[in-house]
C-alpha cells in the first residue's frame, strides 16, 4: 500500500488526512514515481478551503501537483525513462503522496545538481512566472514592476526577467530586500506612497507590470504607472481583472489559458532545470514537513513563511 493526503470536505488545514491507497502502477504512456518531496503551493490551500472554485466533492480528494522522486515503473509507449531515474513532475494530481502515476509528458529528468526539495519547488511557480512574462513579452529595454517579489513565483519571475534583459523593480517587505537584490532586482517597500517611490527608482518609466500580490495597492499602482494596459497582468485577481481592463493569467480568471500560453508553462520546467544545473537559477527553500503533517505545511504557507515549503514522505 501507498499513502496520500486527501480531504472529504472543504475547510481549514485540519480537513487534510493521511489515507492508504493502492500502490499505483504505470499504464500506457505513464510513469510511476516514488515521491521524495512534494511542493506545497498556495493554490493547494485555496482549493482545499473552497476559496477557489472546483468540482463538488464526491469522495476523498487528493492534493498537490508538483513533486520530485525516483521512477519505479515505466508504461508502454514511454521512451527516454527507466526505473531508477531521478525526475521532477509537474501537473501530477495527488502529488502529496508516497507514490504516484503521471503522464510521461509531465515528467522531466532531474539533473544531479538539483535536490528533490528544489525539484519539487519548481512546477507551478516557474510555470506561472515564465508563462506570464512570455505572455507580456518582457525583454530587453523593459522595466518590469513586479508585485510580490519575494514569493516563489516572484523570485522565479525576477530571475527570468533579468536573464532576458529587463530591469526589475519588485515590491516586498523590507526584511526581504536582501533576497530581492541577490536575484538582481531593485526592491521597493509596499505601503502608502508606493507609486511615488517607484517613480523615483524608475524616472524613465515602467513599461510592464505583473501582480503576484493581489492587493488593491498593487493593481492601482500598476494602472497609474503603466500606460499600456495590455502589459499589465495579475496572477491573483483573475475574477475582477477585466473590470480594470488588465490581463489575467489564471488566478480565478473565467477563461482558460490559450494553447500557446499553456505551452510556455510546459516549457518552463526544462528551462529552469537547465538553468539550475548551470548555476544560473536559484530556489529559496523554506521548512520541510513530513507527509503526515500536511496540515501544518498549509498553515505555514498561509502565515507567509519564507521560502518554498515541501512535504517529505
Tens digit of pLDDT for each residue in 76-91? 999 999 999 999 999 9
Domain coordinates of the chain in residue numbers? 2-122+283-312, 125-248
Q: How far is CA 270 from CA 132, 187, 274, in A?
A: 17, 28, 6
pLDDT of residue 181: 98
> Each residue of 3-58: pLDDT tens digit?
999 999 999 999 999 999 999 999 999 999 999 999 999 999 999 999 988 899 99
Give the other-Cβ count within 10 Å of 126's Cβ.
Answer: 30
Q: How far is CA 202 from CA 107, 184, 196, 262, in A?
A: 41, 15, 10, 32
User: pLDDT value at position 104?
Assistant: 97
Three-state secondary structure string covering 171-209: EECHHHHHHHHHCCCEEEECCCCHHHHHHHHCCCCCCEE
CATH of the domain spanning 125-248, picked from 3.50.50.60, 3.10.180.10, 3.40.50.300, 3.40.50.720: 3.40.50.720
Burial class (CB in 10 A: 0-12, 13-18, 19+), 150: buried
> What is the pLDDT at residue 251?
84
Low-confidence ranges of the chain (pLDDT < 50): none
- Which helix (H) or strand (E) is 260 found in, with range? helix 259-277
Tell me yes or no: is domain 2-122+283-312 CATH 3.40.50.720: no
> DSSP secondary-structure letter at 56?
P
- Whole-model pTM over 0.75: yes
Q: What is the pLDDT of residue 250?
A: 87
User: Do the domains at 2-122+283-312 and 125-248 have one common CATH topology?
Assistant: no
Amino acid at each position: 500500500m501507498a499513502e496520500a493526503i486527501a480531504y472529504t470536505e472543504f475547510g481549514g488545514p485540519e480537513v487534510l488526512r493521511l489515507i492508504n491507497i493502492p500502490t499505483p502502477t504505470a499504464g500506457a504512456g505513464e510513469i510511476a514515481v516514488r515521491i521524495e518531496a512534494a511542493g506545497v503551493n498556495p493554490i493547494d490551500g485555496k482549493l482545499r478551503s473552497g476559496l477557489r472554485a472546483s468540482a463538488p466533492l464526491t469522495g476523498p480528494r487528493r492534493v498537490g501537483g508538483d513533486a520530485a522522486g525516483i521512477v519505479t515503473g515505466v508504461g508502454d509507449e514511454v521512451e527516454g525513462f527507466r526505473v531508477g531515474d531521478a525526475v521532477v513532475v509537474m501537473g501530477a494530481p495527488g502529488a502529496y503522496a508516497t507514490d504516484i502515476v503521471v503522464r510521461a509528458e509531465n515528467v522531466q529528468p532531474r539533473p544531479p545538481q538539483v535536490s528533490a526539495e528544489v525539484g519539487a519547488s519548481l512546477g507551478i511557480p516557474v510555470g506561472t512566472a515564465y508563462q506570464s512574462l512570455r505572455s507580456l513579452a518582457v525583454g530587453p529595454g523593459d522595466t518590469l514592476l513586479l508585485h510580490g517579489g519575494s514569493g516563489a513565483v516572484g523570485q522565479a519571475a525576477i530571475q527570468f526577467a533579468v536573464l532576458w534583459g529587463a530591469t526589475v523593480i519588485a515590491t516586498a517587505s523590507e526584511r526581504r530586500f536582501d533576497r530581492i537584490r541577490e536575484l538582481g532586482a531593485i526592491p521597493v517597500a509596499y505601503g502608502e506612497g508606493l507609486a511615488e517611490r517607484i517613480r523615483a527608482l524608475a524616472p524613465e518609466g515602467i513599461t510592464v507590470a505583473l501582480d503576484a500580490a493581489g492587493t488593491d495597492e498593487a493593481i492601482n499602482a500598476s494602472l497609474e504607472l503603466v500606460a499600456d494596459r495590455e502589459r499589465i497582468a495579475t496572477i491573483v485577481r483573475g475574477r475582477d481583472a477585466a473590470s480594470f481592463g488588465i490581463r489575467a493569467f489564471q488566478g480565478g480568471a473565467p477563461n482558460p489559458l490559450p494553447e500557446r500560453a499553456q505551452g510556455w508553462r510546459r516549457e518552463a520546467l526544462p528551462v529552469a532545470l537547465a538553468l539550475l544545473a548551470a548555476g544560473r537559477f536559484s530556489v529559496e527553500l523554506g521548512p520541510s514537513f513530513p507527509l503526515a503533517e500536511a496540515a501544518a505545511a498549509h498553515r505555514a504557507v498561509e502565515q507567509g513563511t519564507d521560502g518554498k515549503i515541501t512535504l517529505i514522505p
